Amino acid sequence: MELTKIQEFDLNRTTMVTGSEAVVKCLVEEGVDIIFGYPGGAIMPVYDALYDYQNEVKHILTRHEQGAIHAAQGYARSSGRVGVCLATSGPGATNLITGIADAQIDSTPLVCITGQVHSHLLGTDAFQETDVVGISMPVTKWNCQVTKAEDIPAAIAKAFYVAQSGRPGPVLVDITKDAQFGEFEFEYEKCQQVRSYVAKPIINKDKLKEAAELINQAKKPLVVFGQGVILARAEEEFKTVIEKAGLPSAWTIMGSSALPTNHDLNVGMLGMHGNYAPNVLTNQCDVLIAVGMRFDDRVTGNLEKYAKQAKVVHFEIDPAEIDKNVNTDVAVLGDCKESLSLLLPLLKENNHANWLNEFYRLRDVELSKVINAETNPKSGELTMGEVMRRVNTHTEGKAIVVTDVGQHQMIACRYAEFQQSKSMITSGGLGTMGFCLPAAIGAKMGMPKKQVIAVVGDGGFQMTIQELGTIFQTKVEVKILLLNNQFLGMVRQWQDLFFDKRYSATEMVNPDFQTIAKGYGIASKQIKERELLNDAIKEMIEHKGSYLLEVMVGKENNVFPMVPTGCSVSDIRLE
């Protein structure tokens, strides 16, 4: 009698399988439903094994390996699950490196599986042989090379455990071709721990009490929160804590959407192009409470002038981040969902109304000098800010916004409104142009019932524009909002402000994006007139299927506020 798939996956029995089939069976056991990848010679046995598991695992053929890994990132960031991608050896594997580095600095859980030449050819410069383990070591949380079929299950089990435990990150498993062909008795056991690896530090209760004492005594507290809140699924615990203690809270780009945009205690975005109030008042607070963030240089500005007057409390899961950039007075190591839950009963109820009003007062200054002109201009060229304001009108803060990198990224982060967590997906630490389009594809596949809007510039769009082919083949519904200023806008802004407007190699001569979209079977429209903007965005969002809306915006508009390089965050410029 023919065995059913369910019987084949019974963990209480062993089955003789090839290494390549073992790879697929391991993925099934880990609950993987989607893989992003690109086949090639050294990974071909795994692709052959996938042929028999099409009902269990869906493979998405991207048009480039970089597209595959960015799509896996988007999937992981929207769904909260591990993203998985496949690539062959040599150039296939090296094409993953940018995405791996991006995932490492942005703490995105990925499992990357690459094929490798036969083990007897390792080190011989064989065709399409590259030391991907050596290349990827600095940008992975863990990696390994498997040369024997029977070692595949343990390697993949460990990969999934390491990728998603503690502070998440990318892992890479490189499997030689002979290991893929080899046969062994298959058994799979999920990894629960790794010797010498501490995923979650034990929370020190004394440190919690010290933190609570500082917070309770504060007259001008400020919370700065990052993606750690989202990764720990601690949104509710975080909100409860700040509401009880009345703590004004500002977010990093990666922390965007962890707290609803319209929450009374949400005082805006930190950083180089963040909001005026939280940047200025960072250097006036008396207690700075960092939650799940790493004090990136774009947030702190000049460290010699950063919050020197404040006591610093840092809630963080990764010991390496403590005192790395900013010295702390109290460090609470641990998963912030747990640490915030334990902190809550130690906090006194408070509101800090007068201090909070300082944020509102400075918010009004930014509103009058920057925000109104950017989001509601009465004349002149279209602005990116008014486009995002119209998007908010039609999404009501319920869409997932995926951005590329540049001026449009800063504008989208500043003005997009969110009511739900995991709604802003962007390349934060590495700043990878070309991230948006494939990441939006992955985000939609991770959360198919959510509206996904890819906000991209004309520069970044053309770095991975071939992924329109992935949309064409899969019919995934992604709304692409192309903000076209015919420049590499952020570089041009710096040339404008700091290089005497010497626009060297930043002006773009672009193709007809409408014709390109038509070639991929994607509906599209280009607009230049303000009076057409609202209806065009409405049409894009309501359209059944993918859609490209190209909006021609001002060529030389700059993003403000801005903290110039080397300056204090309180030196933020409004013009």
For the chain, percent of residues with pLDDT exceeding 90? 97
- Is 238 among the residues known to form the active site? no
Q: Which of 490, 493, 495, 560 does the annotation list as catalytic?
A: 490
Contacts of 345 (CB under 8 A, 6+ apart): none
CA distances from 291 to 242, 252, 494 (A): 11, 10, 31
Residue span(s) of the chain under CATH 3.40.50.1220 come to: 205-358
> What is the structure's pLDDT at 466?
98
- Band (480; pLDDT cuts 50, 70, 90): very high
User: What is the pLDDT at residue 270?
Assistant: 97
List 21, 25, 36, 65, catalytic entry: 65
Label residue 378 exposed, middle or buried (CB < 10 Å: 0-12, 13-18, 19+).
exposed
Rounded to whole angstroms, how far apart are CA atoms 365 and 200? Answer: 42
- Please, which pLDDT band fits residue 565 given cuts at 50, 70 and 90? confident
Of the candidates 44, 128, 187, 526, the residue annotated as catalytic is: 128
How many CB atoms are located within 10 Å of the residue 440 CB? 32
Q: Does the structure show a pLDDT above 60 at 2?
A: no
SS3 content of the chain, % helix, strand, coil (to 5): 45, 20, 40
pLDDT tens, position by position, 57-72: 999 999 999 999 999 9
Q: State yes or no: pLDDT of 4 exceeds 50.
A: no
From the number of C-beta atoms within 10 Å of its C-beta (0-12, 13-18, 19+), residue 476 rates as buried
Q: Which of 5, 7, 127, 219 is catalytic?
A: 127
pTM of the model: 0.95
d(CA 457, CA 316): 34
Residues 6+ positions from 468 with CB-CB distance below 8 Å: 437, 516, 517, 520, 522
Question: 104, 317, 337: which is closest to 200 by C-alpha?
Answer: 317
What pLDDT does 15 receive? 77
Give the CATH class of 15-186: alpha beta
User: What torsion do the CA atoms of 505, 480, 74, 28 make, to the nearest 10 degrees?
Assistant: -130
Give the pLDDT confidence of 386-397 residue by residue, as tens digits.
999 999 999 999
Encode pLDDT of 244-298 as tens digits: 999 999 999 999 999 999 999 999 999 999 999 999 999 999 999 999 999 999 9
Mean pLDDT of the chain: 96
177 as an active site residue: the answer is yes
Angle 298-302-308 (CA atoms, 0-180°, nearest 5)?
115
Residue reference for tokens 């071709």 = 177
Q: Which helix (H) or strand (E) holds 552?
A: strand 547-552
Q: Is 317 helix (H, G, I), strand (E, B) or coil?
A: coil
User: What span, in angstroms and rounded, lies between the C-alpha atoms of 402 and 412?
Assistant: 9
293 contacts 250 by C-beta, under 8 angstroms: no
Is 66 catalytic? The answer is: no
What one-letter code names the amino acid at 371?
Answer: I
Q: Which CATH architecture has domain 382-556?
A: 3-Layer(aba) Sandwich (3.40)
Reported as a single tens digit per residue, the pLDDT across 362-384 is: 999 999 999 999 999 989 999 99
How many Å apart are CA 199 and CA 201, to the nearest integer?
Answer: 7
- Cα separation, 127 vs 130, in Å, equals 9
pLDDT band at 13 (very low <50, low <70, confident <90, very high): low
- Encode pLDDT of 513-547 as tens digits: 999 999 999 999 999 999 999 999 999 999 999 99
What pLDDT, on a 0 to 100 scale, did the predictor assign at position 14? 64
CA distances from 31 to 2, 84, 497 (A): 24, 11, 50
Residues forming CATH 3.40.50.970 domain(s) in the chain: 15-186, 382-556
What are the tens digits of pLDDT across the range 295-332? 999 999 999 999 999 999 999 999 999 999 999 999 99
What are the tens digits of pLDDT across the range 132-149? 999 999 999 999 999 999
Q: What is the pLDDT of residues 401-415, one digit of tens each?
A: 999 999 999 999 999
1 pLDDT above the threshold of 80: no
Does residue 111 contact residue 34 with C-beta atoms inside 8 Å? Answer: no
Q: Which two tokens stand for residue 460?
A: 């970044």
Q: Indicate whether 12 pLDDT > 80.
A: no
The C-alpha atoms of residue 126 and residue 124 are separated, in whole angstroms, by 5
Show the tokens assigned to 253. 């780009």
Name the one residue in this structure whose structure tokens are 């800063």.
Answer: 410
Look up 490 and say whether it is catalytic.
yes
SS3 400: strand
Digit-coded pLDDT (tens) for 151-204: 999 999 999 999 999 999 999 999 999 999 999 999 999 999 999 999 999 999
Check whether 232 has a pLDDT greater than 60.
yes
Residue type at 226? Answer: G
Q: Which is the catalytic residue, given 158, 177, 239, 311?
A: 177
For the stretch 407-464, pLDDT in tens is 999 999 999 999 999 999 999 999 999 999 999 999 999 999 999 999 999 999 999 9
Q: What is the CATH number of domain 205-358?
A: 3.40.50.1220
Residue 443 falls in which region: left (phi positive, over 0), alpha (psi -120 to 50) or beta: alpha
- Letter for the amino acid at 168? P
Closest CA to 274 of 300, 247, 236, 292: 300
- The confidence band for 7, taking pLDDT boundaries of 50, 70 and 90, is very low
498 carries an active-site annotation: no
- pLDDT of 8 higher than 70: no
